[in-house]
Structure 1
């Protein structure tokens, strides 16, 4: 029998998640300043590689970005406290989405997840308990929320884990190649490095990663295995946090577990003074938000990770369909690139010195990602505006320390090359 998704349940999981979410938002925002991330991405760079179509977001550049991230940190605190919550979460979502789309050199899946969850939180009644809003406006105070609120979070994290698991089913993951390369390079301590280089260990990590991603949600859904799954999640994510240093994502992922436990358990543990919900009632108050906004977004979340199957070539090589697909920590790429400018009037050939206006990290991305190459060629064209030039590229990539192979068609003139937003670009060499 299908549960009534519109029934009211105790809102303790959502309230506690809001508090954790706000804290993580503040930690991410202030941490980006303190760790030098803002400086390296938005201050020291001459420009950013935006998502194609969002070039106008390059205005997010320079020292003003320190203030920008401070504002986001303050908004995180307001979210945590439930103070002017609706204003704070909507403004943060807009500001964070702009940051996400304004640069992709430091692309990270948890940046994308943070944007998606922020969007959901704009529509959820997360400030109706343990918030300044509820204190200032007692009429909004409530102990309940629709059951579908928990389902939205459960479905979203299920999508993340499922597609992360499916993406790992490729040779270099299955034979431990990527896990070995990743782990050995993550520590300079001889003892730890020695353990990480053992075949039994990196194979264990590789297959444990697949099994965790595939089984964590089913085990959390089953009451008898829920606590075991919770402990396994703590171990898995804390290990990743220490060895891979991937920011707030491990703690963010742990936070979703709140929605798998019975709300009454969360209430007794964290909100002991809160009254228990004794009677099950049905409310259609937020039905339109679910049906017209959240369900369509979840459907899009299911479609995006599938799109690379409809694009020619191996996504590991071409990168086409890689982003927004939960393809997390799958491969390491290195590359070599050379730009050749041909003056079509004089036939003179010159090499273009791209290091003059790119950071080390941008150079690495430029040599391995076709969309970066195409975007950079647009900048070269604008630099040579008014001149009849052709741009040719020599570019080779190595995946997971394998032999270098040609990535870009050396015969393609990038002065006239087009970008296909949805399908394969013919100047990316297939393997």
Structure 2
């Protein structure tokens, strides 16, 4: 196994992936500006709900976030062209991390995946061929790489699909409840709409999703089924792109296919004039071995631990949301709810009217009505506003939430003062109520 990891192979897959990666990242960032996503999530809101612990991370004033995303788009193109690769990708990773942690109202798993792949690519020699860096400095050119450079990306995408499969093994997915809600809302051609509203189709999609996520990586790894799996992957992701409108993710997922084919095949398709590489063990590359053993192995241990942390937290993650993020729990449920904050002056015991809705966008209000971490953050913000006026307050929340349009239940303990309640990053927060029968 060790010899296979450190075998010298053609670097064509990594070079092609760098080009796809940079192009798709540019589409993501420039597209965020053109579609109004930046305006909706960074410019219109009075403030953003950053990840807890990063509340200081707020958008640039005025139209600054347009420039922020514009810079990321330019950096993405520089990565695609292999221009000042380490600097361009390093800055892109830093900027994207800022945007990712700055808001979670429109949280999406592919934003997280982009961040992880950017981080991984920083350590890979993806600019050693077909790049402006090589054109400026021919001494950088190299036609090979250690095989582990491909395997780390294969393993990363395998983690995504494995945990996406595991997350679907719950009743509302298995009986077609959620897929029914998802597809019944899609407006398209009458004949297709009729299909999308058919309960049998909902069951088919539910199990097709489980089968695809669970089998696609093994089928791509096996030579006999590889091309068939690629065709299935193309059809699956194209369907999702057209009907579910999930941005660049379908095409980003397809771009990983270059690592499942023999490097010689990728070279023959994309770089017909690239010199042939003779495979050999890179025994003298101590830096590469150290990087693999002391960085990537610990990195993947963390990647395996994060998605299972909710199994060790009291309550069902589907209800509490504790451990939901960073866990590849993608498109699994519909949450809806209502909330009312009761603000009480600690000194006079009088209730103070606070129109919290007027400070939020519609999308933010949806999050604050259903997600415990955003509810807690809103309470902390209200507390802070009154402290600036010299008023100490207690804050209580009356919140009822429905999962997949079922009967709404109380989510937050109405007798707990959220202004003074701590946030537990690793265990269950007791002020999040559990439905009867919750573990």
Query: Shorter-normalised TM-score: what interval?
Result: over 0.9
Deviation per CA, 1:243-272, whole angstroms, max 9, x where unpaired?
111111111111111101000000001100
Deviation per CA, 1:196-216, whole angstroms, max 9, x where unpaired?
011111111000000001100
Partner Cα distance (1:388, 1:128) in 2: 60
Matching residue of 2:363: 361
Q: Is 2:380 the partner of 1:378?
A: yes
Q: Is 2:317 the partner of 1:315?
A: yes
Partner Cα distance (2:131, 2:34) in 1: 28
Q: Secondary structure at the match of 1:55?
A: coil
Shift of 1:188: 4.7
Shift of 1:406: 0.5
Shift of 1:2: 6.1
Partner Cα distance (1:416, 1:188) in 2: 49
Matching residue of 2:417: 413
Deviates more, 1:282-291 or 1:9-18: 282-291
Partner Cα distance (1:73, 1:238) in 2: 24
Contact 1:42–1:62 at 8 Å: present in 2 too? no
Partner Cα distance (2:23, 2:350) in 1: 58
Contact 1:339–1:351 at 8 Å: present in 2 too? no
Partner Cα distance (1:408, 1:61) in 2: 34
Deviation per CA, 1:394-428, whole angstroms, max 9, x where unpaired?
00000111110000001111121111111110000
Matching residue within 418, 429, 432 for 1:425:
429
Q: Is 2:83 the partner of 1:93?
A: no
Under a length normalisation based on structure 1, what TM-score does the superposition of the two structures give? 0.98
Matching residue of 1:266: 266
Deviation per CA, 1:134-171, whole angstroms, max 9, x where unpaired?
11111110110100011101110100000000000000
Partner Cα distance (1:74, 1:426) in 2: 46
Deviates more, 1:219-228 or 1:279-288: 279-288
Shift of 1:351: 4.2
Matching residue of 1:325: 327
How well do the aligned residues superpose, as a CA RMSD in angstroms?
1.2
Matching residue of 1:187: 187
Partner Cα distance (2:392, 2:105) in 1: 30
Shift of 1:276: 1.2
Partner Cα distance (2:279, 2:413) in 1: 66
Q: Secondary structure at the match of 1:342?
A: strand
Listed as ranges, the matches of 1:8-19 within 5 Å are: 8-19=8-19
Partner Cα distance (2:257, 2:354) in 1: 51
Q: Secondary structure at the match of 1:391?
A: strand
Partner Cα distance (1:68, 1:406) in 2: 40
Partner Cα distance (1:141, 1:209) in 2: 42
C-alpha change, 1:194 and 1:350, in structure 2 (3 Å) is: farther
Contact 2:48–2:59 at 8 Å: present in 1 too? no
Structure 2: any 5+ residue segments left out of the alignment?
none
Partner Cα distance (1:181, 1:62) in 2: 38
Aligned length, in residue pairs:
431
Contact 1:338–1:351 at 8 Å: present in 2 too? no
Partner Cα distance (2:162, 2:336) in 1: 28
Matching residue of 2:257: 257
Q: Is 2:125 the partner of 1:105?
A: no
Q: Is 2:400 the partner of 1:396?
A: yes
Under a length normalisation based on structure 2, what TM-score does the superposition of the two structures give? 0.96
Matching residue of 1:248: 248
Partner Cα distance (2:404, 2:338) in 1: 15
Shift of 1:59: 4.5
Q: Is 2:338 the partner of 1:336?
A: yes
Partner Cα distance (1:380, 1:32) in 2: 30
Partner Cα distance (1:179, 1:61) in 2: 40
Structure 1: any 5+ residue segments left out of the alignment?
none
Shift of 1:292: 2.1
Q: Secondary structure at the match of 2:311?
A: helix
Deviation per CA, 1:87-121, whole angstroms, max 9, x where unpaired?
10010000001110010001000000000000001
